[in-house]
Structure 1
């Protein structure tokens, strides 16, 4: 087997350095990448935490161009850490490879105990990347644009005070849809459909589907159902002006903006997607089964296919079987966004 040429190749390594396990795994990745001839780049504060004894390690500030010139970013932590990495890679279009140290880890593609397999895939470029739809969010007060942000998972409008319900009017494509007294409203992407949207009772949407989701949280209304709209639609949530309840906007649970009475947010498809690395090609169905440990015992499809291949006519009696979750859907192949907010 020929040795790949790694000249001029560099990888940004990001880690949740507040955790000892993450620091240990990050050191393994940095040392192995360096040993294979790839240049390693770290954020300055994380480099200090890792205290590596490696020559030529680059350090940069945590700015939107931190991944400039890197072929990918390896992120070691939970989904919250991967969401932070998305902030540093979105503008440069650098693919993100998540190494899971969290619980479910839907955004992660590899597990921390698969370091050498993952390194080999990087060195030999045995990976692909896919674009994930994002959200661009605008905040208005008195019809004046006061803030903009974006999200990979969701933009959520939530009540600011626990004891007071939030009164909102929602609209789609410039037309009012309904008024809700609620705890909040989640506007999500397909990637985020397994995050806050999932907890709020919204639908799981396969990543290949291009759509926007709007889900009310504990709404006191007859019509308060999760909605899936076109990716070209514009969603809006207005905090009623004549109400005592104020709100707060959260983008991926990381960036927040106050929403006083009368404030309005508009959500549309983001101008820049986020690219996620894939090492496995398991169907999203299998990944859901593996991540949520869903019960599928009794499924006969696999046995029927095996019997059909064996007999050549498909008339054999299947013997039962359950291989969902084992066809490339093992640890670290989650495909949708996580609910773990940093």
Structure 2
């Protein structure tokens, strides 16, 4: 675990944060306006991606951003009477920011994590969606969240990522990374994907399936969970290999070491497929290709606002029944139990 001091700016530097919002949510505009108002009051510059600002009602672009995202290249806009910075939607959008604040659901968080990871700055989620498993707080607590950002009253932990590389013979097709999972999946509805899973250079099993995914602990509550994978506490670094709708007697998920190397080989007469990264980016995976997956070279830095255990979040987000729990007599009970 690392502390927020790693993201501190020197006293002479202008503080700034990147705000990424899901503008389709009803509460989004009010949430963005509140963040901008409070940050401007505390001399913290708010930066937003131009496309997001254009979708906000009442926003006025006063200067278009130049190519690049250095402070000198940023444009400006007026939002609810306050000036903000605007930049283009590039991976460098968070350069020069101390963190990325997400106002939305898990999809918005995954988009914002691309900016945060590229700039090596932490990301903080405030849920405006439904489950919002990746969010650290709910929108009702937004004023307190902004205060903690201003006061730097938070700490930062690292969340593991995975990276996958696709080969066809000796030819490199491409590589990408994921915070939740890389999913190798067939494109057409009919037929099955012929895949062989390998761990650390040794074959494990052939599968006729819809796909095979390799998940991080963070992604274990997402797509991998829906496919029957285990829930893994985020403090544990591991990779989950989860066959998806496999026609096989042995179709159980595997939990492997973070230092392991997983490969999925596609049959030479298999269905056409692709490798999907967090459902946001993809690479084509032709027949006979090989997808190699390993722990990512860079984690995603993750803002924690408190020390709430993952167990309590799991119970709350999934609304798990725990009325029969007695616990030890000297153990504090979570609120509402």
Q: TM-score range by the shorter chain?
A: 0.7 to 0.9
TM-aligned CA deviation for residue 298 of structure 1:
2.6
TM-aligned CA deviation for residue 223 of structure 1:
1.6
Structure 1 gaps, min length 5: 307-321, 328-342
Structure 2 gaps, min length 5: 1-10, 60-78
Q: Are the aligned partners of 1:242 and 1:261 in contact in 2 as well (CA < 8 Å)?
A: yes
Task: Tell me, in whole angstroms, the C-alpha distance in 1 between the residues paired with 2:210 and 2:164.
Answer: 20
Q: Are the aligned partners of 2:19 and 2:101 in contact in 1 as well (CA < 8 Å)?
A: yes
Moved more, 187-196 or 138-147: 138-147
Among candidates 9, 16, 21, match of residue 15 of structure 1: 21
Alpha-carbon displacement from aligned partner over 1:104-155 (angstroms, at most 9, x marks no partner):
1111011112121111111111111110000111011233111111000000
Among candidates 145, 150, 157, match of residue 177 of structure 2: 150
Corresponding residue SS for 1:58: strand
Q: Are the aligned partners of 1:97 and 1:277 in contact in 2 as well (CA < 8 Å)?
A: yes
Moved more, 186-195 or 259-268: 259-268
Correspondence 1:29 to 2:35? yes
Corresponding residue SS for 2:27: helix
Q: Are the aligned partners of 1:12 and 1:41 in contact in 2 as well (CA < 8 Å)?
A: yes
The structure 1 segments of at least 4 consecutive aligned residues displaced by more than 6 Å after TM superposition are: none
C-alpha spacing 1:7/1:113, structure 2 compared with 1 (3 Å) = farther
Among candidates 287, 301, 311, match of residue 327 of structure 2: 301
Residue of structure 2 in register with 1:313 after alignment:
none
C-alpha spacing 1:239/1:325, structure 2 compared with 1 (3 Å) = farther
Task: Tell me, in whole angstroms, the C-alpha distance in 2 between the residues paired with 1:119 and 1:326.
Answer: 26
Higher relative contact order (CA 8 A, sep 6+): 1
Report the structure, 1 or 2, having the larger strand content. Answer: 2
Q: Are the aligned partners of 1:97 and 1:276 in contact in 2 as well (CA < 8 Å)?
A: yes
Count of residues paired in the alignment = 306
Correspondence 1:288 to 2:314? yes
Alpha-carbon displacement from aligned partner over 1:37-76 (angstroms, at most 9, x marks no partner):
2111111122223311445421111222211121111111
Correspondence 1:111 to 2:117? no
Task: Tell me, in whole angstroms, the C-alpha distance in 1 between the residues paired with 2:235 and 2:336.
Answer: 22
TM-aligned CA deviation for residue 203 of structure 1:
0.6
Counterparts of 1:209-288 in structure 2, within 5 Å, are: 209-243=236-270, 245-288=271-314
TM-aligned CA deviation for residue 7 of structure 1:
6.4
TM-aligned CA deviation for residue 326 of structure 1:
5.2
Residue of structure 2 in register with 1:174 after alignment:
201
Corresponding residue SS for 1:90: helix
Moved more, 8-17 or 76-85: 8-17
Kindly report the root-mean-square deviation, in angstroms, between the aligned alpha carbons of the 2 structures: 1.8
Among candidates 21, 35, 50, match of residue 44 of structure 1: 50
Task: Tell me, in whole angstroms, the C-alpha distance in 2 between the residues paired with 1:29 and 1:68.
Answer: 19
Task: Tell me, in whole angstroms, the C-alpha distance in 2 between the residues paired with 1:6 and 1:293.
Answer: 46
C-alpha spacing 1:19/1:289, structure 2 compared with 1 (3 Å) = closer
Q: Are the aligned partners of 1:296 and 1:324 in contact in 2 as well (CA < 8 Å)?
A: no
Q: Are the aligned partners of 1:6 and 1:36 in contact in 2 as well (CA < 8 Å)?
A: no
